[in-house]
Amino acid sequence: MSHTAHIPSHRKPRRSASKLALRAGVAGGVLGTIAVAGAAGPANAEPVTETIEMPTLGSLEAATGLASAVAASAEASQQEALDQSLQTQENLALQKAAKEARTAKAEADRKAAAEKAEKARLKAEQERKDAEARASRDRARTQLASTSASSSSDNGSSSSDSGSSAGSNESTTQAPSGSAAAIVAFARAQVGDSYVTGGTGPNSWDCSGLVQAAYREAGIDLPRISYDQSSMGTSVSLSNLQPGDVLYWGSRSGSYHVAIYVGGGKYVGAQNSSTGVVERSLDWDMPSGAVRIL
């Protein structure tokens, strides 16, 4: 070991370069300030005794905090502007959706009104057709009555016998049996169903559709159209009707309406859209003729 190792060192500890520079700067600034003051003042001026305080570490930290606060405020302002932009876009989207909903509703209302008007038009058209058909039947009935009156004047006794027979027929008609009973029962079971042009059941009918279905219950196939049905079988007098006979309006080969005679001076038929399937007296709408198919 060196003989001087035990001797403590008298050297002062080294200061860091940054601290030395800071002190040198402070000292230089102080001396420079004093020198300038001395040169500018009078010769007999009193020496400057005021000291200048340099920024401390606390001041630097305060400045740093202020800068951070300014940056945070700027970031908050930027976020607020972004939020306002998003809110504006959301409001515009809601306004657009509401406008589209109003437009869709208006279109739906327009279509509903158009459909309602079309249904009303079709109903009015059907009622007009029914009225025309009823008027045509009335004309045919009037013509038939005129023909019958003319025939009566030519042969009064025959007409009287025929009238007596008709009255006797209505009062003494027996209950139908066999195929006629099946036809009558089926027809009466449909009373109250609706009338639909081209309807063949089970809950809506037109006149020939009902007659065809009733005869099918008895195992008999009839044509679909009324004038074809009235051309079937054998022509019978209205004074000699039997349950199950097919009544027709118009001419036999050109009838426009058919129904089924159910006895007792009554018939069942699908009349029109206003009445549907009904059971009526012959007097309510006198047919032009009848055919017997059974």
Q: Return the C-alpha torsion angle 185, 190, 192, 193, nearest 10.
A: 180
* C-alpha neighbours within 13 Å on the C-beta side of residue 14: 3
Bridge-partner residues for 234, per DSSP? Answer: 292
> What is the percentage of the chain residues whose pLDDT exceeds 70?
63
Q: Return the CATH superfamily for domain 171-292.
A: endopeptidase domain like (from Nostoc punctiforme) (3.90.1720.10)
Tell me the mean pLDDT in the region 131-151: 55
57: buried, middle or exposed (CB in 10 Å: 19+, 13-18, 0-12)?
Answer: exposed
Contact 207, 258 (CB under 8 A): yes
* Listed residue (223, 217, 233, 228) closest to 268, CA to CA: 217
pLDDT at position 131 over 50: yes
Listed range (26-35, 45-54, 190-199, 223-232) with the worst mean pLDDT: 26-35
Predicted confidence (pLDDT) per residue in 32-47, tens digit: 544 444 544 454 555 5
pLDDT at position 141 over 70: no
d(CA 117, CA 125): 12
Q: Are strands 204-205 and 234-236 parallel, antiparallel or unpaired?
A: unpaired
245: buried, middle or exposed (CB in 10 Å: 19+, 13-18, 0-12)?
Answer: buried
* Listed residue (284, 238, 229, 231) closest to 261, CA to CA: 238
Contact 170, 238 (CB under 8 A): no
| 38-47, 68-77, 273-282, range with greatest mean pLDDT | 273-282
Structure tokens at 39: 């040169």
Structure tokens at 143: 């013509």
d(CA 120, CA 123): 5
Number of neighbours of residue 265 by Cβ within 10 angstroms: 17
pLDDT for position 175: 65
pLDDT for position 136: 58
Contact 218, 189 (CB under 8 A): no
